[in-house]
Structure 1
Amino acid sequence: MKLTDISIERPLGITMVILALVVLGLFALPRLAVDLYPEMELPIAAIITSYEGAAPAEVEKMVTKPIESAVATVSNVNEIRSYSQFGNSMVLVIFNWGTDVDAAVNDMRDKVDLIKGMLPDDAGTPMSLKMDPNTMPIIMFSVEGPDLVRLKTVAEDTIKPRLERIEGVASVSVTGGKEREIRVILDPAKMVTYGLSTAQVMQSIAGDNIAGSAGTIDIGSNELSIRVLGEYNKPDDLKNIRINLATGSSIALGDIATIEDSFKKNATISFMDGQPSLGLNIMKASDGNTVQVAEKVLREVDDLNKILPADTKIITVMDQSVFINDSISSVTEHGLLGALFAFLILYLFLRNLRSTLVVVIVIPISIIATFAMMYFGNQTINMLSLGGLMLGLGSLVDFSVVVLENIYRYRQNGYGIIDAAKQGSSEVGGAVIAAAMAQVLVFVPIIFVQGLAGVIFKPLALTVSFSHLAALFAA
């Protein structure tokens, strides 16, 4: 029995199926992640290593080259690029499209661990990172206050932990502010006079600046742990450090150097309205909903502003969710406007309000059913998926118009309602299915396109295909 015959002879059953699709779509809609662009996994990873004080040529020879040789043996590597700068090395590894980047990064990290011993002692631990566009900050805040030192303490001890506890927040980074640093400025003339080198002084400072466990002591039935507290907290502590001389005697560090309690040189400086401030960058989890996470963060910031000191404020500088909501609202508004124009054009030609409503009702049914298919297809609501939905909006009513017009023709020839519906829909059913499949097949190949184009346009192709299949079923 044909689907059209089932629809005509069992209207209640078909109505329940349509209602089930609508309910399923309405259930899926709030659970769809909302983002600006589709989720993109770029096959690119980076290995970043710090080597303070080293020139670019030295960084390339001692750090970059060994890391390049190690990661070259990782499978599915397409290209390796490296950048050696003053005190810093970055190796970019570009994999073939379709590679499981998480597994490749883990493999790459294992290879780098094998050559850690070959790197200079002063070099930092290589960090392996996956390039993910979704790790860009979704919200940027500015923290204002009179004292940048106290402000940074408040930001790191109070604000940052509370924001990182929010569901969907991956990390919070603090930029700007002042960080305490005790500087030891050596006197070159005295260093030469006493025959000392910078390495000797550094070794003496590091040898005394120790804190940690030193074992245990058994006292009767009790076991007590011993902890050494030898870290320096004040400049005067450094002045009294004794440095051994070649003559067998020693000299205090304060006699050959000036000790300053200062602040670390900032790599980044944040300003708000011309005044120094702190910057807070909020990164969401890879599977987080940008709009929902932003709403939770903003609510938490409102609560923080109430408990922070009166002279400290958290101000929103950039909120990606605002742009996403505006963009989606704009697309939705134009989609509704297009549906209204479709209704007016159909009424102008059909000249029958009842027939027009029968055709136009296909639009919301198709769109809501599309949301259900997007949910089960692991898609998100973004600019491209909504664009695909709006792209197929005009053609969603085409199938219904053809079926309805043919049924109307049979009615004009004297057929009854049931017979006209059966004959009219079955006569053009094959043509309508062929037309719908032709439009779907135009977009389906985009799903299999490799590279960045496939990642970007796959949601558009899927949405157009889903909406046309839903419209075909409704017709």
Structure 2
Amino acid sequence: MGRAAMPIASNPNITFPWVTVSVFLEGASPEDMARLVAKPIENRFMKLEGKEEVRSINSASFTNVQVQYDVDYDIDQAILDVERAVNEIRNQLPPEAEDPRVSEARADQDFPILSYSVYGFSDLRSGYFIAKDIQERFEKVPGVLTVEIGGVPEELLEVEVSKSKLESLGVSLSEIGNAVRFNNVLIPAGFQDTGSGKFAVEIPSLFETREDVYNLPIKSSGSKVVKLGDVAEIKRTFKDPTTFSRVNGYDAISISVSKRVGFNELDIANKVKAEVEQIREDYPSSLQITPSLDTTRFADDMVNELQGNIITAVILVMVLVVAALGLRNGLIVGIAIPFSFLVTFGVLHFFLGYEFNFLVMFGMLLGLGMLIDGGIVIVEYADKLIDAGQDRKEAYTNAAKRMFAPVFASVLTTLAAFSPLMIWPGISGKFMRYLPITVFVVLAASLAYALIFAPVIGSLLGRRKGDSDKTNDSDDTFLKRNYKKAINFAVRNPFETITYTFLSMFLILGSIVPNYGKGWIYFPNIEPWLITANIQARGNLSP
């Protein structure tokens, strides 16, 4: 149940300890953005509690200010502090600047999981309406966080003022600008109490239709009112494009889909793809919707490959255990594998809220070879007690009591080796913490099985008193014969054995150590699955 409910994700869900603020001011140079926008924001952010560093990047018309906190600082409190600081200095920014956008950084939502290219439309306006319809339909899919449209400029109403009409009616450009600026705002007017209740009163002054702009009063003279439509021509158009998207030689519009935290990205991708098929049926065949990015394919392949590796490893372990201990004892020991994995899935999902990512699967693979050790010790010692004359219930009870300390110490020493990874500081520690925690839960579940459930199952299914165990009792096997020869030689010649061992170690280390010290990398190099090319042209060329 826990495995079925666990969402699948490509990367671990970690929150980076920084908050970013983005501000857009059209037409401003990088120098103006740094002086008019970044400087006031930086001065206020330097007073934030818990911040470690404040840095900004300024480009034409855009400023990005980033506040870095300590990795253990409460990111929700950091966002509240940043939003409060932005509201305090909003009046210090140019009035033409757009409202600052505050956002946090997460490993699993910085990039879209799906991206589609739409082309084959007759003109930009019809393509924009189609993209808006697709955006609304994608946003209704459960688990979708945002749907961004790219490759098309923002739609607006363009006002072309007639100079001759301005002069004839005695209207100035400043009067038009003030009328537009002071009217396109939401004005709260308090509450009205009717005796049986009260409701909010607002003055309608936002532009909602083109007629609202046409009928905007500019100037009054006696009984005559000059409206914006009297002195200007108003038409719907788009902003000057800053980016273009093309697919197979056609103008295209890109649509990117990002997922919410805690949702299964494979389920989201399947539902979005089903919606795409429905959209293709609703529009003419000339409209093409092609996928340009699908990161869920990587997640799907990764999960399938690792699940296949886990199943293969389970089969190999079971075969080896049955071959070494016999069918009856092998089954008692082997049940620890599904038991430990089921407990791990339940704890990780229901108690820790983890997603099923590659670090969780690696942790399960690491724990697979270690989780049966305790069960083997209990079962083998119980078999010796049965050979000594005890019945199986008494034998498994005494085996669990006698082997409690060795089995418990064995698991603790293994967990101690992984404990430094659990307290690894910084972003790397938050990223890698999934691995040791998964191993910890797997081994804790295997310890519970070895000390509690294995004796219970063994008392029901174990070898009865007087039954022979040919697999374990017989010394006439290839492995046991050769091991007996090796151990007899080592015991009779202890100094030679120690000498040969250290000599072999020096030879091996002598061939390995010279290859170290040649640098290090955080992740190994792998074959790329996505290729992008950035081409910079010479000259002052427009988009």
CA contact (8 A) 1:134 1:286 kept: yes
Alignment match of 1:268 (pick from 239, 243, 261): 243
**1:172 paired to 2:147:** yes
Q: Is 1:364 equivalent to 2:338 in the alignment?
A: yes
Residue 412 of structure 1: aligned partner: 387
Task: Give 3-state SS (helix, strand or coil) of 1:418's partner.
Answer: helix
In the other structure, the counterpart of 2:90 is 116
1:447 aligns with 2:422: yes
- Greater CA deviation, 64-73 or 292-301? 292-301
Cα pair distance change 1:70/1:43, threshold 3 Å: same
- Aligned: 1:98 with 2:87: no
The answer to whether the aligner puts 1:277 opposite 2:252 as a matched pair is: yes
Residue number among 426, 431, 439 corresponding to 2:401 in the alignment = 426
Q: Shift of residue 332 of structure 1?
A: 1.0
Q: Which residue of 1 aligns with 2:288?
A: 313
Say if 1:149 and 1:178, in contact at 8 Å, map to a contact too: no
* Structure 1, 170-179 or 34-43: larger mean CA deviation: 170-179
Query: Does structure 1 residue 126 correspond to structure 2 residue 100?
Result: yes
Contact preservation (8 Å) 2:186, 2:203: yes
Aligned counterparts of 1:57 and 1:414: Cα–Cα separation in 2: 90
| Aligned equivalent of 1:382 | 357
The number of residues matched between the two structures is 418
Superimposed CA distance per residue, residues 160-209 of structure 1 (whole angstroms, 9 cap, x where no aligned partner): 1122122211221111136566778999xx99xx9xxxxx7476466479
2:40 pairs with 1:66: yes
Partner SS for 2:363: helix
CA offset digits 1:30-84 (Å, max 9, x no partner): 2212111211111111111122222222221211111101111111000000112
Cα distance in 2 between the residues matched to 1:170 and 1:453: 26
Kept in 1: contact 2:24–2:97 (CA 8 A): yes
Change (3 A) 1:55 1:285: same
Q: Structure 2 matches for 1:158-197, cutoff 5 A? A: 158-177=133-152
Residue 88 of structure 1: aligned partner: 62
Equivalent residue of 2:112, what SS?
coil
Query: How far does residue 211 in structure 1 lie from its aligned partner after superposition?
Result: 7.0
Once residues 228 and 416 of structure 1 are traced to their aligned partners in structure 2, the CA distance between those partners, rounded to angstroms, is 90
CA separation in 2, counterparts of 1:356 and 1:291?
Answer: 37
Higher relative contact order (CA 8 A, sep 6+): 1
State the one-letter code of the partner of 1:435: S
Give the Cα–Cα distance (whole angstroms) in 1 for the partners of residues 425 and 305 of structure 2.
30
SS in 2 for 1:317: strand
Written as runs of structure 1 = structure 2, the 5 A alignment for 1:223-302 is 263-302=238-277
Counterparts of 2:331 and 2:13, CA distance in 1: 37
Letter in structure 2 aligned against 1:159: I
Cα 1:259/1:374, change in 2 over 3 Å: closer
1:149–1:177: 8 Å Cα contact kept in structure 2? no
- Kindly indicate whether the alpha-carbon contact (under 8 Å) linking 2:11 and 2:107 is maintained by their aligned counterparts in 1: no
Which residue in 2 is equivalent to 1:49?
A: 23
Contact 1:81-1:93 within 8 A present in 2 as well: yes
C-alpha displacement of 1:242: 11
Write the distance in 2 (CA, Å) between the matches of 1:71 and 1:322: 41
Residue 344 (structure 2) pairs with residue 344 (structure 1) = no
| Aligned equivalent of 1:152, options 117, 121, 128 | 128
CA contact (8 A) 2:120 2:250 kept: no
Q: Which residue of 2 aligns with 1:35?
A: 9
CA distance in 1, matches of 2:434, 2:312: 23
Q: Aligned partners of 1:99 and 1:313: how far apart in 2?
A: 47
Tell me the distance in 2 between the aligned counterparts of 1:181 and 1:112: 27
Contact 1:55 1:85 in 2 (8 A): yes
CA pair 213-84 structure 1, distance change in 2 beyond 3 A: closer
Counterpart contact for 1:167–1:293, Cα < 8 Å = yes
Report the alpha carbon displacement of residue 314 of structure 1 after superposing the two structures with TM.
2.7
- Specify whether residues 55 and 179 from structure 1 end up closer, same or farther in structure 2 by C-alpha distance, changes over 3 A only: closer
Residues in 2 aligned to 1:229 and 1:127: alpha-carbon distance in whole angstroms: 22
Gaps of 5+ in 2: 188-201, 220-227, 451-543
Distance across 1 between alignment mates of 2:383 and 2:128: 74
Distance 1:330 1:405 in 2: 34
Shift of 1:439: 1.5
416-425 or 51-60, larger mean C-alpha shift: 416-425
Please tell me the residue identity of whatever aligns with 1:455: K
User: Following TM superposition, by how much is the alpha carbon of 1:283 offset from its aligned partner in structure 2, in angstroms?
Assistant: 1.4
Q: Conserved in 2, the CA contact under 8 Å of 1:48 and 1:91? A: yes
Match of 2:297 in 1: 322
Q: Provide closer, same or farther for how the CA distance between residues 326 and 229 of structure 1 changes in structure 2, counting only shifts above 3 A.
A: closer
Alpha-carbon displacement from aligned partner over 1:294-342 (angstroms, at most 9, x marks no partner): 2222222222222223322333322222221210111111111111221
Deviation, structure 1 residue 288: 2.3
**Do the aligned partners of 1:211 and 1:231 also contact (CA within 8 Å) in 2?**
no
Q: Distance in 2 between matches of 1:429 and 1:232?
A: 78
Distance, in Å, in 1 between the alignment partners of 2:273 and 2:236 is 37
The Cα shift of 1:440 comes to 2.1
- Residue 367 of structure 2 is matched in structure 1 by 392
Match of 2:52 in 1: 78
Is 1:456 matched with 2:435?
no
Q: Which residue is equivalent to 1:3? A: none
| Maintained 8 Å contact 1:211/1:227 | no
State the AA in 1 paired with 2:379: L
Greater Cα shift, 446-455 or 90-99? 446-455
The aligned counterpart of 1:468 is 443
Q: In structure 2, what residue type is equivalent to 1:76?
A: G
- Going from structure 1 to structure 2, the CA distance change for 1:233 and 1:370 (only over 3 Å counts) comes to closer
Secondary structure of the 2:16 match is coil
Looking at structure 2, the residues matched to 160 and 381 of structure 1 have their Cα atoms a distance apart, in angstroms, of 28
Distance 2:38 2:128 in 1: 34
Q: Which sits farther off after the overlay, 384-393 or 400-409?
A: 400-409
User: 2:13 touches 2:106 (CA, 8 Å); kept in 1?
Assistant: no
Partners of 2:434 and 2:208 lie apart in 1 by 56
| Alpha-carbon separation, structure 2, partners of 1:75 and 1:299 | 47
The amino acid that maps onto 2:21 is: I
**Identity over aligned residues, as a percent?**
25
**CA contact 2:18–2:69 (8 Å) conserved in 1:** yes
Tell me by how many angstroms 1:132 deviates: 2.3
